[in-house]
């Protein structure tokens, strides 16, 4: 049902663009209209084909195909909301009985949509380093001033691959990280050629290791197969485990499979290594509360619980999450803010508890970032 709805929305969006162009540029010629319609139909079908192709093949042609139509999808989204704004402006002008150059409005819409989209494409391939400082009560002296680097949502295996991973690793290695944490969605659902270059993760330089927890896209690909690949590397995979690092406890939660439910609070409480008196950092892909109620895969998407009360009560000092991409593309930024009640991105602190939600290092879907930036997070502990 989800994909049928998505296809209906996509098809409607292409029709809205067609209708606006016909009106804005007063296209009366039947051949010109046919060419425009066929072009938009091919773009619609091309996007669907690229989505399927990349999940069957992962060669250069498939990536170019997917990149091109991924950018088109982003341009389409930008065209839709800009056309909406244009119609509002046109309506206001008509109310006041003023003259308006409809063709000029059409040109402005196209120029702005393409320019805005190109900026979004640039943002994808140029992740920024986000430096933040977090004060943690009772932080061991040996950890004071040390840096934890968080990367997430790389979605390797689709458009983003070896060259992107090299760039990310190069940035990380300049940050003098004590540890690096990868908080899920490292691999994309396709990821058929990932084993050719995933070994590059071994080149990450840290003082105390690289730690990984799974996300929903490892599950889409097949969690066990994803972990099989990652177990060959020099990274520590945390599957509902706790690691003590010189007085700082790292709690890593495996993302629930589709159909699985889990009580994360009990998982932590029942772990004999857990000590609420120590500084505890929770690695959880989704920026949600651990709660006393069972957490299921599907209810981590629509209006999840974000009160974080149980984490505070349990003695969690810092939660590192991601998953939302910060909305990634406007106006989905507004949707993400509504779904996560303001916890879709950024640093949030309350009553000694801190949660940082990253916008992610890569992208999924449209190869654009117009509502947020790809980021590598450098967290300095104090």
Residues 133 and 121 occupy one common structural domain? no
Residues 318 and 282 occupy one common structural domain? yes
pLDDT in tens, 187-222: 986 656 788 899 999 999 999 999 999 998 888 778
Final residue belonging to a domain, choices 97, 125, 153 = 125
Instruction: Give 62's pLDDT tier (boundaries 50, 70, 90).
Output: low
The predicted structure's pLDDT at residue 90: 87
Residues 90 and 148 occupy one common structural domain? no
**What sections of the chain are H helices per DSSP?**
2-24, 30-53, 60-95, 102-125, 162-172, 216-221, 223-230, 264-269, 309-314, 332-339
The predicted structure's pLDDT at residue 159: 80
pLDDT in tens, 161-184: 889 999 999 999 999 999 999 999
Bridge-based pairing state of the strands 128-134 and 236-237 = unpaired
The predicted structure's pLDDT at residue 143: 95
Final residue belonging to a domain, choices 73, 94, 125 = 125
Final residue belonging to a domain, choices 102, 125, 148 = 125
Instruction: Give 301's pLDDT tier (boundaries 50, 70, 90).
Output: low
The predicted structure's pLDDT at residue 100: 83
The predicted structure's pLDDT at residue 152: 96
CATH number at residue 157: 3.60.21.10
Predicted confidence (pLDDT) at residue 353 exceeds the cutoff of 60: yes
Predicted confidence (pLDDT) at residue 380 exceeds the cutoff of 90: yes
Mean pLDDT of 84-112: 88
Residues 55 and 149 occupy one common structural domain? no
Q: What is the mean pLDDT of the chain?
A: 88
Residue 93 to residue 83: CA distance in whole angstroms: 15
- Per the structure, the complete domain to which residue 175 belongs is given by 129-381
Residues 283 and 351 occupy one common structural domain? yes
pLDDT in tens, 233-280: 999 999 999 999 999 999 999 998 776 777 888 899 899 999 988 999
Number of domains composing the chain: 2
Residues 94 and 190 occupy one common structural domain? no
Residues 301 and 232 occupy one common structural domain? yes
pLDDT in tens, 306-343: 889 889 989 999 999 999 999 999 888 998 999 999 99
Residues 19 and 120 occupy one common structural domain? yes
> Do the beta carbons of residue 86 and residue 100 sit within 8 Å?
no
Residues 147 and 277 occupy one common structural domain? yes
pLDDT in tens, 356-368: 999 999 998 788 8
Helix (H, G, I), strand (E, B) or coil at 179: strand
Mean pLDDT of 1-27: 83
Long-range pairs of 331-338 with CB within 8 A, sequence gap ≥ 24: 331/81, 331/371, 332/371, 333/371, 333/372
Mean pLDDT of 79-97: 88
> Do the beta carbons of residue 329 and residue 294 sit within 8 Å?
no
Residues 300 and 164 occupy one common structural domain? yes
Cα dist. 363→35, 75, 106, 188, 269 in Å?
32, 15, 30, 10, 34
Is the model more confident about 98 or about 24? 24
Mean pLDDT of 74-95: 89
Give buried/exposed letters for 209-224 (b at 16+ CB in 10 A, else e): bbbbbbbbbbbbbebe
Residue 33 to residue 106: CA distance in whole angstroms: 16
Half-sphere exposure of 297 (CA within 13 A, CB side): 14
Residues 207 and 318 occupy one common structural domain? yes
Residues 352 and 377 occupy one common structural domain? yes
The predicted structure's pLDDT at residue 352: 86
Predicted confidence (pLDDT) at residue 50 exceeds the cutoff of 80: no
């Amino acid at each position: 049902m989800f994909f049928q709805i998505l296809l209906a929305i996509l098809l409607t969006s292409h029709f809205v663009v067609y209708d606006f162009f016909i009106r804005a540029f007063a296209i009366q010629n039947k051949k010109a209209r046919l060419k425009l319609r066929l072009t938009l139909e091919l773009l619609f079908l091309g996007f669907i084909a690229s989505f399927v192709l990349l999940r069957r093949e992962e060669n250069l042609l498939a990536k170019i195909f997917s990149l091109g139509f991924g950018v088109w999808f982003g341009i389409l989204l930008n065209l839709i909301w800009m056309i909406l704004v244009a119609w509002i402006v046109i309506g206001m002008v008509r109310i006041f009985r003023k003259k308006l150059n409809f063709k000029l409005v059409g040109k402005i819409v196209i120029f702005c949509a393409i320019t805005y989209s190109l900026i979004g494409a640039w943002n994808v391939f140029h992740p920024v380093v986000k430096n933040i400082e977090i004060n943690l009560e009772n932080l061991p002296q040996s950890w004071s001033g040390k840096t934890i680097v968080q990367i997430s949502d790389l979605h390797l295996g689709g458009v983003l691959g070896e060259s992107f991973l090299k760039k990310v690793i190069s940035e990380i290695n300049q940050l003098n990280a004590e540890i690096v944490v990868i908080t899920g969605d490292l691999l994309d659902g396709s990821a058929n050629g990932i084993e050719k270059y995933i070994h590059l993760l071994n080149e990450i330089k840290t003082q105390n290791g690289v730690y990984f927890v799974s996300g929903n896209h490892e599950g889409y690909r097949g969690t066990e197969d994803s972990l099989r690949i990652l177990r060959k590397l020099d990274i520590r995979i945390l599957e509902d485990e706790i690691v003590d690092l010189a007085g700082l406890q790292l709690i890593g939660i495996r993302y629930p499979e589709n159909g699985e439910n889990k009580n994360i609070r009990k998982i932590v409480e029942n772990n004999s290594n857990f000590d609420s008196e120590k500084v505890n950092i929770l690695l959880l892909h989704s920026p949600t509360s651990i709660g006393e109620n069972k957490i299921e895969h599907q209810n981590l998407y629509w209006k999840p619980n974000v009160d974080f009360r149980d984490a505070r009560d349990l003695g969690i000092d810092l939660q590192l999450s991601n998953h939302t991409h910060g909305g990634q593309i406007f106006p989905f930024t507004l949707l993400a803010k509504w779904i996560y009640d303001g916890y879709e991105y950024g640093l949030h602190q309350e009553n000694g508890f801190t949660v940082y939600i990253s916008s992610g290092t890569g992208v999924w879907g449209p190869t654009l970032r117009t509502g947020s930036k790809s980021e590598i997070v450098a967290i300095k502990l104090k």
